Structure 1
Amino acid sequence: MSGEHRAASDDDELFDQWNLADDDPLDSLRWTEDPRQRSLRKPSKPSTEATREGTREAQPLDPESSDLVQDFAVDSVRIEDASMSAGAGSAGEPAVTCVYDPDAGFQIGGRSGPDVPGRRAPLPRPGDEVGGFQLVIELGRGAFARVFLAEEVNLGRRLVALKISKAEGDEPQILARLQHAHIVPVHSVHDDSATGLRLLCMPFLGGANLAQVLEESCGYANARATGKGLVEALDQLSQRFPTRAGESLSLSRGSIGRAPSRSRLASSRGGPRCDSPVSTTAMTAATPVSERPAHHRPSRRYLPIRHLMERIAGAEAPATAVADHDELLPSRRFLRGADSIRAAVWIVARLAEGLEHAHSRGLLHRDLKPSNVLIAADGTPMLLDFNLAVAIEPGQEAAAEELDKAMLGGTLPYMAPEHLDAFDPKGRTKVQEVDERSDLYSLGLILFEMIAGEPAFDPPPSNGPTLHTLRRMVEERRRSPAPSLKARRPDVPPSIDALVAQCLDPNPDRRHASAGDLAEDLRRFLDDLPMKHCPEPSLTERAGKWARRHPMLCGSTSIVAAAMVMVVLLGLAAVQAYEGMQGLHSRLRLRVFQHDVLECRFLLNTFGRDDALIRKGIALAAATLKNAQVAETDAADFEDRVSPEQAAAPWISRLGPLERDEVQRSIVELTMQLAHARVVLSSRHGVGQQLRTALENAVARLDQVEATTSRPPSVLFRQRSRYRAALGDAEGAVRDRARADAQPPTTSHEWTMLGSFLFVSGDPTAAEQALREAVARDVTSFWAWFNLGHCHFDQGRFLEAASDFTACVVARPEFAWAHFNRGLALARAGRPREAKDAFNAAVARDGDFAEAFVNRGLVELELDQAAEAEADLRKGMDRGRRDPAVLAALGDALVRQGKTVEAERLFGEWIGQAPRDLTLRVARGITRLRTDPDSAAADFATVLAVKPRHALAHYGMACVVRVTDRARAIAHLDQAIQADPGLIDAFEARALERARDGDRGALDDVDRLIKSPTANRLYNASCALAILGEATREPRFFGRAVAILESSFKAGFPPAHAVDDADLAPLRGRADYVALLARYRGDAGR
């Protein structure tokens, strides 16, 4: 192009030459600011030198920038300011591009690569024809290209947007892959090898970029832009096109007029403007640019627009015509009716949809900003400028290498922290880590800026893009929390505030997973729906959305009707809640009732139980029946207090039919057990009249059960028959027995009840048969196995009892009593270690199980674990077990540990608190046997003086005198056994003393010990037989003695004790004895 042509053009002073690499080299290192930012800053004194146009020689870089160049020696870097506008492409003030190439070195203003000598292309001007396109006007410029409005000569001179740049890069291929309503498409591409230029033909859509629209609508300087203001600003900017372009756009949208924008009206009235236009008549081309005052310099970006507006200004249609036509254009119609927040959300939602399309095809934009967003003439937002986009196809082998070679660029104020950090050679972010979420961060910044009216972060300093500035920006963006949109604009809905905060989260993992998710959330906001991919903290906002989605339900009539319905529903809900609470209360009562019934069954097992446990069971049973509102009826008031129509407790009536039947059956059984337990206690301690009263009351209670039960069990008649027989009512007894025989048991439960009755009646053989029948009918019946175990235990069949109780443990492992009874059976069977494990299980299920602690302590004494036994015995005493056996065992445990003084002190305290308590004195006497026999004899004598038939006192006295007076010792042992036939220790001691006297009555005692085998008892039985065999000179006892001794070893008795025991001396010459010791001592050594 000739120099004369350039001198005659008004744009000569604006642009220098086509070589983009030389465009503004000195100012490229200065931070050029957005006109929107300039409108917010205080005006400073303009510098003519700073604004002088023309070709300038490149200046050396400042030291900080030199350091930056060295640090950027690996990646190609593009750094742009925020003011790069697009128009229909990347246009506006020149952006800064920093490029380093290992071969070409560091360059400013273009991509790396040497220029071809002699091929410096002249600058095309409007009016020129290039590649079949007639250039009409220049729409804009950027760091890599310029965009013209052109006519395609060979296609009916249609208007297109023509982007002219160097023939390099992949932008045409990238745009060709994208077909989306919100991405500017490409028609064709033409590369001119002669000039090295590329012509990229795109449709001409009119409108302006988002930065221009926001600036024109004064959204940044004075007030936030509304949707209507954006449309008017768009129409205002559309006037910059020549007449034919305007007609073309009018044809595409229909013939519409132009309503004056608010900014133009304000200017015509002398009001303030965001960017006051400069009159072309005041500044002519005749005046050198360098001589014009700086404050009269036209805007470099908008000077052609202002000239065109002056040249093509014409008649404007009424505002109503515009509004009527906008009804045909959905985008403009929505924007006109939207407030600033909804307009911004709508625009960014459309951009996110376009971005999702690009991401789905493996393309990252990496340069999103307002100037790269086109708002078409019909109001459609579209993405521009994919010059920095990178395309990585999934699955390609060279994907990582291509990404490393890709140009890492962008505009610093709109870049994500990880994107900025990738520029820093010392940063922690690799180029590959800059992914789709960085584009979402940029969209969040755009949305923040559109709503708040100002950028989210302060603009960088104007002294150039140095490494220090870059790192400061990274630190600022990684600071948590992200900038608050609501703090800048309080009327922002909490959901949008949360969405923007999520977009600007420094951690990419906490942002939206994709642009599609972001678009969906934005659409849901516009549709008054709850957010799906980000939190929505405000319940008030959600309620408001619901109300807007259901306007018919929010009218006054609807509200009244809804209130009435609500009152009714609340009433029904209250009734249902009350019923539900009552039902829940009933089931809680049922759980408590079932637990108490089980506890009563364990405690009211009268065989082998002491009176304290039976009394505890009676009290619990009476309380349980009272909670079920079952009246305790005595014989005197039976007729007055019992009727067949007696109502059940309210909580029982709220249960289901099956549950009510279960409760009724439990009440019947518990009443029968309670009556029997009271009879047993009266028979043990009561006189004749007291026992008779107990029997009469028992009959009355059974009569009560019969009167209130539709089908009484046959066991009831058997039990009442016994009571009536004891009362002398033979006729009633026969009648009940006949009714029992006429109603034989048919179910496992009825057979179990019969077996339990026979067992407590003292007929274990018949009880075992009935219980085996119950087990045969239901092998999982807990109570059948439980009572069968008691039958076997009573018969001395302890291993079978242990097996029965093991079945109970399998059926109901949560019941502590099953584990406890199994431990008792194993202890009696001479298996103390297994018994201790069973007691451990019982204690684990019931931490207040006193009997389990005591019996575990006794087993630990058997195992010679005195310290552990002391701890368990003390726990049992703390829980109420203070019977003689427990106190004596505790004293024994203390003495075995050498704590004789402590044992004496404890017994002194206990006796001082209860001086008449014979149990305490007997227990102290037992502990004194080894250390102070005389004091022990005094304690026993004191007790016998008060209670001559005290079994333990006689046993203790026998232990004292056995060395000096064997006959007297045997006499005391006889009295002890007469007073308490269950005192096995007395049988043990008498067996030894009788054997020394050669009394064959020792054999009976040995048999009794074998029926209650423990390791110690079996060992002493063996000793008694050895002594008896020597005393009677009958060797036949020796063989049995060796066999029983082996059983004691199997039960856990230490074989080493037998080596030097004098009682076993008669066996030492026997080969079987020697072999037995060798075998078991060898096993112990191994």
Structure 2
Amino acid sequence: MGVKPGGVSSRLGPGADRPSSRAPRPDVYSAAIADLTDRWGRGEPAPAESYLEGARLWPPDRAVELVYREYRLAMTAGLSPSKSAYLARFPEHRGALERLLGLDAACPDSLLGRFDEADDDPLPVAGDAIGPYVLERELGEGGFARVFLARQADLADRPVVVKVTTRPTREPWLLARARHPNIVEVLTHAEVDDGALQLIAMPFLGGAALSAVLARRRSRPAGARPSRFLDDLDATAAPEHRASGAPGPSRAILRAMSDAEAFAWIAARLAEALDHARRRGVAHGDVKPSNVLIAADGTPMLLDFNLAQDWTGADAVDAGGTLAYMAPERLLALAGDGAPAPDDERAHRADVYALGMVLLESLTGWSPADGADPGRAAGRAAFVSAARVMAEARRRPAWVIRRAEVHAGRSLPAGLRAILRYALGPDPAARYSRGLELAEDLDRWRSDRPLAFAPEPSRLHAAGRWARRRRRPLATAAAGLLAAGLVAWLATDGRSAQARLERSARHKYARILDSPESRALHAQRPGDDPRRRRHSTTAADAFAALRDYDVVGDPAWRDRDDFARLPRDDRDDLELWLLEQALRYGRALARREDSPGDWRRARDVLDRACGGAWPAPMLHLRGRLAERIGDDAPAPAPRAAHPAVDAYIRGVAAEVDDEEAEEDAGVGARRAAGFYAEMLAIRPGSFWGRYRAAVVAFSLSRWGDAADGLRACLARRPGNPVLYGVYGTCLMKMGREAEALEQCDRGIDLAPDHAELVQVRAFVRAGGPELDALRGDILRYERLRDALPDRFLRDPDAGDVAAIGRDLPLGPRRDGAPPDEAVGPEELDARAVLASRILDVDTPVDDRTPIRPDVDPDPRRLELAAREVEKLLALDPSNFRARIDRMCLSVCRRRPAEAGRDLDVVLADPRLPEYARSAPGRLDALHFAACLFAREAEFVQALRLARKLVELSLEVHEPHAHALYTLAAVEGYGAGYNSKWVPLAARHLEQAVRNNPKYEAWFRNDPLFKRSRPRVQAAVDAIRAALAPPRA
């Protein structure tokens, strides 16, 4: 089955020719194919030629389709038709038929069998392949769609969920517009079979639909011990992706809650997702338990936005949705009782009502769908009647809630009952108007705070009734006792609620800052090249951080409990970080050309983030944005920010200047260092001030300053594993490997499965003698990273080492394809540096010695380095530097044939001149390789490479003294065995020394001249004497 993203395709393969004006009408083709099929079915087979009279009038693709239909009919009849016979019968279509019959031989029987049968069911079945998607098993089916668990063959067989529908749908576009952490996103969309089917691919998140979890809870025998929510989720989860007991923030939150709190938390997150979709102009239209996924990691997700459209724009019975969860106004519209025409706001309120019904069902187990929805197949009259009856019942939300409580055999908590009564109000104007309001009340109920929108239940009602029955005996004594008890209760409850709020605020900040997977430190770690950072990634990360604290939508975000309840030092640090994110977000959006909408969003975020106190860089950025927008929005009345805040933001702005600079990127870092020093003089205990100062010091190779800053950061955040890894890297740069290992171990103890920390420890160990421990760290990193083929995920034996590289391509990819998208350039660079560090080859620090060693590295180090280079080439076969490194390693390992093959590839690579031109220092590796070839008696290869280096230096117009010296050294080595090379070596050496005198000292110390030095020196002296001017 063919598939093209955003386009159309055909099961029958090629055929793009357009029919001519004289061609038969399309119905003639279909009639001919149908008649052919019918005649074969009656036992009266007819040849395709009988239909192709006047073949010039038939487009080639339709003619091929007719011939192929006859071929399949013959196969079905058991005649075993010959492919060659068909090619001989229709020579004018030989090419297309040959390709099509070849595809027929490769197609699975399930697909071919469906082609042979009457096509009553156009939807695919398990076992089919659609483009790269192989459908493994069916997950669900509706009237016009099927959903499958599939594997994506062109991306390492990753599991995905594929939905195939026969109806056109806006779902992919709506989901793309309403992206949210609690809405399942679309990976790709395509049309299949010339638009007959629509395909949507979504990530496979495991877990189970909420409806499946609730069904399991309902099936529990009466009197059985109740199970926890996560136990029910794991029992019903998809077997391909189980996460029982797995760590994760959502599961940790759910594990710590009662079931009522867990369902309230799930409903709050879904309400936030609905509100986010509403702000993007999307209403769901069919919120129900089967359209809620609880992922394997515990995250609740909204599914199936296929009905996310204005359901009143069509006939009421065709509006879509599920009766049992509809709001009363939707039910009345379906019944045709003259309900007012709803707008987008009412559509969102209807979604929030449906979510309230889902919450009630989750809390009690009572399903509003039991016997209530006759289904549309029962006929319009029955359907309309059911809608009218249900709308009447929904006019009394207290009765609906009580019915559910009776079914559950228990009462709901008073706070939840109040929230549900407000959410299920019959009048849209008298219930929650936004999903965020429902989410806020649910979160307040969980944290024992007063409700913000629903009316509060009376906590003192029962106590007052009891006191009234005993008014006389209690009138005197109870007044004082009740007052004292009430005061004590309120004080205790207040302290308890305040303590919970403070713990929640600290936990949220710690999760953002200390989680090894958090983006808070990831994009800002020392050693990262900021110019590699994509502006879109910067904007997305910054926006996510701002959204976490509602800086995007609430100008009073500093008054929120998750900010205001933090300790003073953490609150000051968090404010700095959020202002930094606002600046980065604004700078990223300001770079977008001709995008007034983005500029306005950036300006609004700056206004909300700064409030009334503006750091100078943010005020300047706002002015630039306002000038580019050109509207009449009033400018803020700025008040100068606190000096420490202003200095910090100036430092960040200087760093961003470096990120946007094309050349001389260190200028901004040096300016930033001064601003951070100014800031720390005012707030010496600031975490972010210390960290940013350490980042800048690291980028400027000021290792001591960086180490001091990171040590201060760890004093503030001793539970942050990433900081230990960064500190270990800094200590390694200072040559303090033992201390670096200790810091790496501490980080790994905190996050044992964080691959980057294991890689940092491997870097540290690469310079030391513990090669077995180094090998273990490298192997553990690869298993955690899971980016390489399986052959690299085991400890190699001698046979594996000898076979390294045999199945890798010898030449670079010519199509310019990038390496695996999961592996970024930073990781490729890190792997290359690790290979070099394993070899422990130090470059001389003076000009007296050539840049090459005269000692053999440890064979075990050679083996480890070679394996790292092979990994590089497995991830990126076009990596030019890695191929050169492999060539050098092959020479060192006495493998001349492999080195020669790599040399052929390197010298023939068209990128070689550009490689030399972009950074001449890169050619040091080739100079090194030429001398290695000579030292290992591969004289011919050494001479080829040395001469190529001279040609390259001339071609790219770079000083060629080094290339001349390398050629002289190779010829000097040859002169030790054949005197014919002496004059050539002397001539090239004299030219190199004439351009740079340092090569005179190189010549005296170079082991390649060991056997020929006196003779070459004499020849050089003779050349100089001949060139000297005659004496007067």
Instruction: State the TM-score, normalized to the length of structure 1.
Output: 0.32
Tell me which structure has the larger Cα radius of gyration: 1
Instruction: State the TM-score, normalized to the length of structure 2.
Output: 0.33
